[in-house]
């Protein structure tokens, strides 16, 4: 039996415990709660199996149409079948409770792996990012953008022999549900996690495959270094850095990383989305070439470094040689670092920006307020990281599903 939050009577504190949703899923245990949803372990009485049930918060449906959008996006996510994706089994709405039934995962999150093992060597870091990109490329191929790639949404299962078989990406489609909410459209809210937000999400709320690519590049940086590329006293400051500062080369924080790996991270996290790989499939091909070079024992490869490097003004883009030969996708702040996905009302930005050096590379012109702080489109919001609460499970207890909430994590297995 999995432990409960609070240590008291969980039934008294959560009316869903013991309830049957959709005449099929008996809620057994509450395991995580965050800004978007609460995750439960449930018994599928029809097929006699354990599943994870994610219940979206009722207050997200203030205008009455969230459940309808949730149903539509649940159907879209269910079309995504891939060995590195947490499977969506069912979705329904029961007396105003919108929920998803999903694959039950035994294991832990990539956040736990980073906390216990990072910085990882380049080969091992890429071994984790490769199946993540494989899952993302399958999603991009059918028009699904994740919008919240981060270590908390990557699960590591127990039992499988290789890393590529153990990685599962969760929550495809949920961020899209949130950004399509009519209330969000009128207020300009953003959904995501501030440490992984692409610059164009911060400034224009534009999302697409390249925003997922940026987030994956940040995750790779974190695997290589054990830290996030940007930090600050508030989510606004961190978002400002994503817009105006390049992700630093991981070798600065973790010496011994090959220059072509630095170039790979720089390419994935280019502040100009047009300079990033077009989608996860293109980045996956770049990663495959880098992994082959590492496996061959080659530490210094000037040609590969040049192929991956961001093009300079007037110079041809050599990225095609490293992975852009075709645009067709491959189908296939607490100490822990955990961050929550959240939806917040629009934040007013102060006129003066954080102190620090000017941007390393010229950016497209944006209107600015006095003091250097850029003006953001009216009504745009930043995603704050809710203060995560953590609890531990015993080693014998599985992690039932994605912890986008940052609410709980199992002990590392």
Share of the chain above pLDDT 90, in %: 48
pLDDT for 226 beyond 50? yes
Q: pLDDT digits over 142-160, tens only?
A: 888 998 999 999 999 988 7
Q: Which two tokens stand for residue 54?
A: 């994610």
What is the pLDDT at residue 319?
58
If you ran DSSP here, which 8-state letter would residue 351 be given? S
**Residue 36 pLDDT class (50, 70, 90 cuts):** confident
pLDDT for 381 beyond 60? no
What is the pLDDT at residue 175?
56
What is the pLDDT at residue 6?
33
What is the pLDDT at residue 11?
45
pLDDT for 405 beyond 80? no
Q: In degrees to the nearest 10, what's the CA dihedral of 146, 148, 152, 154? A: 20
Catalytic residue among 14, 148, 262, 307: 148
Residue-range domain boundaries for the chain:
1-413
**Residue 134 pLDDT class (50, 70, 90 cuts):** very high
pLDDT for 93 beyond 80? yes
Q: In degrees to the nearest 10, what's the CA dihedral of 161, 163, 164, 165? A: 40
Task: Return the closest-CA partner of residue 283 out of 199, 220, 224, 360.
Answer: 220
Between CA 221 and CA 170 the distance in angstroms is 20
Query: Beta 37-44 vs 97-102: how paired, if at all?
Result: unpaired
pLDDT for 371 beyond 50? no
pTM: 0.73
Between CA 109 and CA 114 the distance in angstroms is 9
pLDDT for 177 beyond 80? no
What is the pLDDT at residue 97?
86
Q: pLDDT digits over 45-75, tens only?
A: 999 999 999 998 877 655 556 666 677 767 7
Q: Which two tokens stand for residue 106?
A: 């035994």
Q: Which two tokens stand for residue 117?
A: 């093992």
**Residue 246 pLDDT class (50, 70, 90 cuts):** very high
Summarize the confidence of residues 356-373 as an average pLDDT.
41
The domain defined by 1-413 carries CATH number 1.10.510.10? yes
What is the pLDDT at residue 51?
96
pLDDT for 200 beyond 70? yes
Q: pLDDT digits over 307-332, tens only?
A: 999 886 555 555 545 554 433 333 33
Between CA 399 and CA 391 the distance in angstroms is 11
pLDDT for 182 beyond 80? no
Q: Where are the alpha helices (DSSP H) in 188-247?
A: 199-204, 209-225, 235-244
What is the pLDDT at residue 285?
98
pLDDT for 380 beyond 60? no
Share of the chain above pLDDT 70, in %: 64
48 is catalytic: no
Query: Beta 49-56 vs 37-44: how paired, if at all?
Result: antiparallel
What is the pLDDT at residue 61?
59
Distances in whole angstroms, Cα of residue 382 to Cα of each of 63, 197, 348: 22, 9, 10
Q: pLDDT digits over 106-125, tens only?
A: 889 999 999 999 999 999 99
Contact 39, 401 (CB under 8 A): yes
């Amino acid at each position: 039996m999995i432990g409960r939050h609070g240590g008291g009577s969980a039934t008294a504190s959560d009316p869903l415990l013991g309830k049957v949703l959709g005449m099929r899923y008996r809620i057994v245990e509450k395991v995580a709660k965050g800004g978007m949803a609460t995750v439960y372990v449930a018994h599928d009485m029809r097929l006699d199996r354990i599943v994870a049930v994610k219940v979206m918060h009722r207050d997200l449906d203030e205008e009455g149409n969230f459940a309808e959008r949730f149903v539509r996006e649940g159907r879209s996510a269910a079309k995504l079948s891939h060995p590195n994706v947490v499977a969506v089994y069912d979705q329904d709405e029961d007396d105003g409770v919108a929920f998803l039934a999903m694959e039950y995962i035994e294991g832990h999150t990539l956040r736990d792996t980073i906390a216990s093992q990072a910085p990882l060597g380049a080969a091992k870091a890429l071994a984790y990012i490769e199946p993540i990109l494989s899952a993302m490329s399958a999603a991009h191929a059918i028009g699904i953008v994740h919008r919240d790639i981060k270590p908390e949404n990557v699960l590591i299962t127990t039992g499988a022999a290789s890393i590529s078989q153990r990685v599962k990406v969760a929550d495809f489609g949920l961020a899209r549900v949130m950004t399509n909410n009519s209330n969000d459209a009128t207020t300009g809210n953003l959904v995501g996690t501030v440490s992984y937000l692409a610059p164009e999400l911060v400034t224009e709320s534009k999302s697409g495959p390249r925003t997922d690519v940026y987030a994956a590049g940040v995750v790779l940086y974190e695997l290589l270094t054990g830290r996030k590329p940007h930090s600050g006293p508030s989510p606004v400051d961190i978002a400002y850095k994503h817009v105006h500062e390049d992700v630093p080369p991981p070798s600065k924080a973790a010496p011994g990383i090959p220059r072509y790996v630095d170039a790979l991270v720089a390419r994935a996290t280019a502040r100009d989305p047009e300079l990033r790989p077009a989608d996860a499939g293109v980045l996956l091909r770049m990663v495959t070439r880098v992994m082959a070079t590492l496996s061959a024992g080659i530490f210094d490869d000037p040609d590969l470094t040049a192929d991956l490097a961001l093009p300079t003004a007037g110079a041809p883009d050599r990225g095609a040689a490293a992975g852009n030969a075709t645009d067709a996708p491959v189908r296939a702040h607490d100490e822990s670092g955990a961050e929550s996905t959240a939806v917040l009302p629009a934040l007013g930005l102060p006129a003066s920006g954080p102190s620090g050096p000017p941007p390393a590379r010229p950016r497209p012109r944006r209107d600015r307020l006095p003091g250097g702080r850029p003006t953001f489109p009216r009504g745009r919001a930043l995603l704050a990281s809710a203060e995560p609460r953590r609890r531990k499970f015993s080693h014998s207890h599985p992690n039932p599903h994605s912890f986008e909430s940052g609410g709980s994590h199992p002990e590392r297995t």
